Structure 1
Amino acid sequence: MSHTPKHEYENNKLVKRLRHQVGAAINDFQMIADGDKIMVCLSGGKDSYALLDILLRLQKSAPVRFEILAVNLDQKQPGFPEHILPNYLSSLNVPFKIIEEDTYSVVKRVINEGKTTCGLCSRLRRGILYRVAKENGCTKIALGHHRDDILETLFLNMFYGGKLKAMPPKLLSDNGEHIIIRPLAYVKEKDLIRFAQTQNFPIIPCNLCGSQPNLQRQVIKDMLQQWDKTFPGRIESMFSALQNVIPSHLADTQLFNFVALQQGQKLPHGGDTAFDREYYPNTPTLAQTGEFTQLATTVKPIINILDSRH
């Protein structure tokens, strides 16, 4: 990668943008509190490397003090380069643990050849990481999912699961014991690709699922990437919609009390406007502003993670 003054300038802009977007997500969802111990899950991919890098940058100056424990699950995939992550993490002088669990053999034994392995692999990995977080006193588990992952999950659930459900930036685990955070929730995947190149992260490919070209997620990813090229701003608008939900204009009777609806009732989001076209010309998109804001909140963040420590 060239290191001309122009490239250095662009790289610095990228780092500042990523730091700002991660800080904004942490603030908006109050992901990190004073005294937290964050377990950062590393897969060896670009996203988790970037997550660790940016959290380490924030840790140095944030107004709250938090610990970081980097954790990698060695799933015993054939040919997995076991030395790469320990060497990299040691060079950063960051506390880390490498957990060895042969989930690869389990997945290959249970899933028939040619079938998608991601579901079972994910469940096995999640259970192990929850256990490790508890054993090490971690108060939060940080995952490297980004904005594109969140939108892909939204469409996967709509197209194949019949649910209007995405991947939340902050989540309580099924057993209620763990808080999962996704600090990259506002970050574009293409920015992470570029960041990984500038930082020369030692990327480790996943041989278990990398040979599954017909995954439903890949189909959705290709669709969104095509939309992004053809219709600039559409991806930003869709993500903004996840932050601006109007239950009275959907059809979930558990989410909105349609039975109790009465004449003359004032709804918090207005009445029968099927498509709010009249508001769009005067409303800048996230792509235009470059900022992500909570669209319908009156609660101010308690702590701004981007403030300098005094």
Structure 2
Amino acid sequence: MHPVTDAQKPDARHERQKLQKRLQREAGQAIADFAMIEAGDKIMCCLSGGKDSYAMLDILLSLQKKAPVRFEVIAVNLDQKQPGFPQHVLPQYLQDLGIECHIIERDTYSVVKDKIPAGKTTCGLCSRLRRGILYAFAEANGVTKIALGHHRDDLLETLFLNMFYGGKLKSMAPLLRSDDGRNTVIRPLAYCREKDLERFAELRDYPVIPCNLCGSQKNLQRQVIKDMFKVWDEEHPGRLETMFSALCNVEPSHLADPQLYNFADNSRKAAPRSVAPNGAAKKGVTSVSGKAAEEFGRLDVLNL
């Protein structure tokens, strides 16, 4: 007989089910708030082998069974030829799930190592190369939405990275169309906390694959922000939640960007927001996400 693992014990199963419902509820709400998924969409779930992308695929497949609209989900992994990358892990995992999957093989690892001096951060070039390859694949295969596994902490970290190091008030958009309009990126986990995803990955026992490029780099700027957030979360519970609410409730007239707000005639230069975080409508603003998105939100609250 095989020994029972911690993830298979009754208490762990109950915790996993409870956590899965919460993550599905948060993802469903994000999908509704930003109208991420529409009828007939072909969603390309980008799998890196990390905890977040595994959880995203899991959640999308669960929502697909109960969704008010029909959409297709395919899984795609980009094999960047990193040394020691276990090439059998993802194909076997996806085969067991029984969904359409594609493994794209491109040696971006050698390009990054050749172009980036030793000790310098590789993330920028690596992500640009990866994005170009995934965009091209999506276009060639009729994909309408590219799903990435960024979560709430990623959005907050990016906001602070841009403030501290880039001089911009900028984060990650839950839904983003490429400059040429040919690709649309969605981030269904935008409302999900990283610590919940970490625990869920443990309980689901995902075959997580570490990144040999950036995963071993020390003193990354993002890690500095992560460490700062960890201290805040421990010493000031609820601060990160308040910060995320602020990210979703922007007042252009109380910032200092004349490209965003016309201070001369006291009017916005950009379209007003339509939704507030976690489905709470902003005062005086109604949702424009459409009936399908409303149904996603209703499904999320009642059925999961």
User: Would you say same fold, with TM above 0.5?
Assistant: yes
Structure 2 CA distance for partners of 1:9 and 1:218, relative to 1, 3 Å: same
Offset at 1:9?
2.4
Q: Using the alignment, how far apart are the partners of 2:53 and 2:281 within structure 1?
A: 25
Task: State the alpha-carbon separation in 1 of the partners of residues 257 and 28 from structure 2.
Answer: 33
Give identity over the alignment, percent.
64
SS of residue in 2 equivalent to 1:305 = helix
Aligned to 2:3: none
Structure number with higher helix proportion:
2
1:49 is displaced (CA, Å) by 0.3
Residues 171-190 of structure 1: pairs in structure 2 closer than 5 A: 171-190=176-195
Deviation at 1:183, TM superposition (A): 0.1
Assess if the C-alpha contact under 8 Å between 2:33 and 2:279 holds in 1. Answer: no
Higher Cα Rg, which structure: 1
Question: 2:20 aligns to what?
Answer: 15
Report what 2:286 is aligned to: 298
For the residues of structure 1 that align with 2:14 and 2:47, how far apart are their CA atoms? 28
**Matches of residues 87-126 of structure 1 in structure 2 within 5 Å?**
87-126=92-131
AA aligned opposite 1:33 = E
Shift of 1:292: 5.2
Contact residue 7 and residue 204 of structure 2 kept, 8 A = no
Unaligned segments of structure 1, at least 5 residues:
263-268, 270-285
Decide whether the 8 Å contact of 1:39 with 1:68 is kept in 2: yes
Could you list the structure 1 runs, at least 4 aligned residues long, displaced by more than 6 angstroms after superposition.
Answer: none
Alpha-carbon separation, structure 2, partners of 1:299 and 1:19:
21
Q: Contact conserved, 2:39 with 2:69, CA < 8 A, in 1? A: yes
User: CA contact under 8 A between 1:28 and 1:294: conserved in structure 2?
Assistant: no
- Residues 106-147 of structure 1 deviation map (CA, whole Å, 9 limit, x = unaligned): 000000011100000000000000000011100000000000
Q: Which digits, 9 at most, give the CA deviation of each residue in 1:147-190, with x for residues without a partner? A: 00000000000000000001110001122211100000000000
Which residue of 2 is the match for residue 204 of structure 1? 209
The match for 1:54 is 59
1-side partners of 2:8 and 2:89: how far apart? 25
- Judge conservation of contact 2:54–2:206 (CA < 8 Å) in 1: yes
Give deviations 1:180-222, integer Å, cap 9, x for gaps: 0000000000000000011110000000111211100010011
3-state SS, counterpart of residue 254 of structure 1: coil
Tell me if structure 2 keeps the 8 A contact 1:21–1:292: no
Deviation at 1:243, TM superposition (A): 1.2
Match status 1:193 vs 2:198: yes
| 2-structure distance, mates of 1:258, 1:242 | 22
State the TM-score, normalized to the length of structure 2: 0.89
Q: What's the offset of the Cα at 1:293?
A: 2.8
Q: Does structure 1 retain, via aligned residues, the 8 Å contact 2:7–2:205?
A: no
CA distances 1:59-92 after superposition (whole Å, capped 9, x unpaired): 1111111101100000001111000000000000
Aligned partner letter, 1:188: R
SS at the partner of 2:103? strand
| 1:2 Cα deviation from its structure 2 partner | 4.9
Q: Report the Cα offset of residue 256 of structure 1.
A: 1.0
The one-letter amino acid of 1:295's match is: K
2-side partners of 1:4 and 1:198: how far apart? 10
2: distance between equivalents of 1:62 and 1:226? 38
Aligned residues: 283
Q: Does 1:165 align with 2:182?
A: no
1:243/1:295 contact within 8 Å kept: no
